[in-house]
Structure 1
Amino acid sequence: MAHPADDLDGLPLERLSALEAEHAELQRRMADPALHADASRARRVGRRYAEVDQIVTALRDLRGAAEDRDAARELAAEDPEFAAEAERDAERVATLREHLRELLAPRDEDDSRDVLMEIKAGAGGEESALFAAEMLRMYRQYALSRGWTLEVIDSTDSDLGGIKDATLSIRAGSSAVGGGVGTGGATGGAGGGAAVGVWAHLKHEGGVHRVQRVPVTESAGRIHTSAVGVLVMPEADETDEAELLAEQMASANLRIDVFRSSGPGGQSVNTTDSAVRITHLPTGIVVSCQNEKSQLQNREQAMRILRSRLLEARRAAQDAEASASRRSQVRTVDRSERIRTYNFPESRVTDHRTGFKAGNLEAVLAGDLDALIDSSRRAEAEQRLRDAAEGEL
């Protein structure tokens, strides 16, 4: 007869024991009011707790299910009616064990981070700008459905009410951190997702989104194809990569210009020089913000974006040096690649990386992105497990 401990064979027992000890320590730290006096530190501890808590919860579920299975088997020896229950418990043990194995697989260290997203109108002129505005609404509704907050940091409107470009901050609230994916998610089925945070869900949205429909600007009723570019970056905390960012963000490396904000077509919306443009001289990265009313607020927002862009540039350089087997994202390293098509005549959305098709375009644009995002997360999880297995050979 199996013993609950036998069901942990093949799993990293020392690591599991260390994670249980870390879980207890993180609980102690989170109960300390002093931690919450430092919002940045509290956020980092909360992220780590959400990651470890999933693993420890899965381990406890596995142990409990194994004990239930063994108890049912003992009863079945005397009463055959318990045999079916023992079989169900055995299947649950196998499912929970696989789930725990997936949770322990290597994953993106940034999965628990919040994100900065940029949406840019591309080929298609005004039609592209109008669809970019629809995509902004789509991500806003998706964020609301998960209990996240979406803030428009900077945006430029088009003449017909679309957006030429927009920079967004999407952050998980304290209650949302640690949430799993939707039904059938990348690591669903056994209770909760293997990855937490906004980046885990939205990192695969980066790329070119193509739309096929009859534009409102088209009088002949012909279907046009337009494109919108999306860039997603994990948001950098002020304390992230402290030494690197301190050096990179030194005043000697920055040129800060102020100018007057303007609206669509160049019309003035502000009579003071409140808009801010920051140029990072070593890399040539340029960030500008004009949505806030004060120069100080625009400067803070621009610095926030610059920090994340520098962190993303560092990640990209590391990815370029890594071997292909260590690149775990689902073909999103090349952000110029077309990743998705929204076909209005057929009410269909197609993800070109995973082959997943959704026949509910209207619902998708209303924020129902779970199935599409889950298809990318499943592909990533499967790739990580393959990479981990190859590394063990």
Structure 2
Amino acid sequence: MVDRDSLQGLLAEHAELESQLGDPEVHADADRARKLGRRYAELTPIVKTIHQLDAARGDLEAARELAREDPSFAGEIDRLSERIPELESRLAEQLLPRDPYDSSDVVMEIKSGAGGEESALFAADLLQMYLRYVEQMGWKAVVLDATESDLGGYKDVTVSIKANGDGPDGVWARLKYEGGVHRVQRVPTTESQGRIHTSAAGVLIYPEPEEIEVEVDPNDVRIDVFRASGPGGQSVNTTDSAVRITHLPTGVVVSCQNEKSQIQNKARAMQVLQARLQAMAEEEAAAKASDTRRSQVRTVDRSERVRTYNFPENRISDHRVNYKAYNLDQVLAGDLSGVINALREADRTEKLAEQASPTADG
């Protein structure tokens, strides 16, 4: 259990945040107010549990004293003796190290892979699945760039997903597990013999932190402008407003064509490039630091097959946590809660095990 001094520090921080958020001058700076609000929302359930635990411990001590003269208080002692370990367990879970980007918005890229047109059509299905989930969560999604295939699928598509509000959990907290290879098994529309084919699409997802630490040298990028295109590649305007930025040292390419002007598209594309380069740098550092340890729920290895969508059996399987359900139709309609909750629970269980065995990596 965390020492009392640390808990007192969290209580003091929460009280200070509450005071700051009550100051009208703080809200004159929207970014600062949002940052403070997120931290306050993160600490509030922890503070509530600390107060409940303190109250239960005080009540137990009082009940024991009263029971010395009145045996009827024995039942209250039993109740509180069960309640306190429950609160201690909840607090331990709430105090688990948080992913620093859990409150962040994200950028998601979906790319067709092996399977040609069928893979591109599956990429379109994945996009619609995520857009429906975004709608159910009350978030906002904007397609930044897309390259369509001949049959209306997507060779690649980039989406910005943002949460509404300043809660402790943002988009990244729930969608960070989606990165990897998604495999589909079904009869393609292009298949005349009714045979089941297997194809795949890749999902790349990274947080869009508010503060970007990576600086991009202007000499390291090539910027191309072109006309924004609509379905089938048709031009939707007569000016070169779309922007493509190529980061020469890494080969990362980012395009944006959905803002209103070339300047806005360039700024947005640069923001996405910085976020992606930062994510790459952090993942490389994390990989080097954990060569001898492999997490059960991976969010970094995008070459890993993470999930299978089997249409004939209406089955979805996540291979990282052995999750299996026969509601693929509902999942494609946006009901991702089951598989995402399974991944979050596996992640939480692993962290609790690590906390209980601090020398496991040694």
TM-score norm. by structure 2 comes to: 0.89
Tell me whether 1:169 sits opposite 2:136 in the alignment.
no
Tell me whether 1:360 sits opposite 2:338 in the alignment.
no
CA contact (8 A) 2:296 2:321 kept: no
CA contact (8 A) 1:155 1:291 kept: no
Tell me whether 1:210 sits opposite 2:183 in the alignment.
yes
The corresponding residue for 1:286 is 253
| Equivalent-residue separation in structure 1 for 2:77 and 2:132 (angstroms) | 44
CA contact (8 A) 1:289 1:301 kept: yes
Tell me whether 1:92 sits opposite 2:92 in the alignment.
no
CA contact (8 A) 1:107 1:384 kept: no
Aligned match of 1:330 in 297, 316, 325? 297
Tell me whether 1:261 sits opposite 2:234 in the alignment.
no
Rate the CA distance shift 1:66–1:326 in 2: closer, same or farther, 3 A: farther
* Residue aligned with 2:119, SS: helix
The corresponding residue for 1:40 is 31
1:4-23 superposed Cα distances (whole Å, 9 cap, x missing partner):
xxxxxx32211111111111
The corresponding residue for 2:207 is 234
User: What is the total number of aligned residue pairs between the two structures?
Assistant: 359
1:85-135 superposed Cα distances (whole Å, 9 cap, x missing partner):
654443332222111112222232222222111111222222222222222
Deviation at 1:271, TM superposition (A): 1.8
Rate the CA distance shift 1:229–1:72 in 2: closer, same or farther, 3 A: farther
1:193-250 superposed Cα distances (whole Å, 9 cap, x missing partner):
xxx222121111100111111222222222111211111101022x332xxx3xx224
CA contact (8 A) 1:328 1:384 kept: no
Deviation at 1:353, TM superposition (A): 0.4
* Residue aligned with 1:159, SS: coil
Rate the CA distance shift 1:84–1:348 in 2: closer, same or farther, 3 A: farther
1:75-86 equivalence runs, <5 A: 78=70, 80=72, 86=77
* Residue aligned with 2:254, SS: strand
Rate the CA distance shift 1:208–1:55 in 2: closer, same or farther, 3 A: same
Q: Report the aligned-residue RMSD.
A: 2.5
Rate the CA distance shift 1:42–1:266 in 2: closer, same or farther, 3 A: same
CA contact (8 A) 1:211 1:342 kept: yes
| Equivalent-residue separation in structure 2 for 1:12 and 1:229 (angstroms) | 44
Deviation at 1:386, TM superposition (A): 2.8
> Gapped runs of 5+ residues in structure 1?
1-9, 179-195
Aligned match of 2:114 in 95, 117, 123? 123
Percent identity of the aligned residues? 58
* Residue aligned with 1:123, SS: coil
* Residue aligned with 2:246, SS: strand
Aligned match of 2:3 in 4, 7, 12? 12
| Equivalent-residue separation in structure 1 for 2:320 and 2:132 (angstroms) | 24
TM-score norm. by structure 1 comes to: 0.83
* Residue aligned with 1:216, SS: coil
Letter in 2 for 1:258: V
Letter in 2 for 1:305: V
The corresponding residue for 2:357 is 390
1:309-348 superposed Cα distances (whole Å, 9 cap, x missing partner):
1110111121122134776571332111100111111111
The corresponding residue for 1:59 is 50
The corresponding residue for 1:300 is 267
Deviation at 1:266, TM superposition (A): 4.0
Rate the CA distance shift 1:62–1:35 in 2: closer, same or farther, 3 A: same
* Residue aligned with 1:291, SS: coil
> Gapped runs of 5+ residues in structure 2?
none
The corresponding residue for 1:375 is 342
CA contact (8 A) 1:204 1:329 kept: no
